Structure 1
Amino acid sequence: MKNYSGYIPGTYRNISAVCRLLPLCQRENFFYILLIIYFCGVLIVNTCFHIASLTYNNYQM
Structure 2
Amino acid sequence: MKIFVRERTRASEGQKLPRFRVVGVYGGDLKLYAKRIRKCELDQIASELGAEVVYLERDKEGKHK
**TM-score of the superposed pair, with normalisation by structure 2:** 0.36
- Structure with bigger gyration radius: 1
* TM-score, normalisation: structure 1: 0.38
Normalized per residue, the structure richer in strand is 2
The structure richer in helix per residue is 1
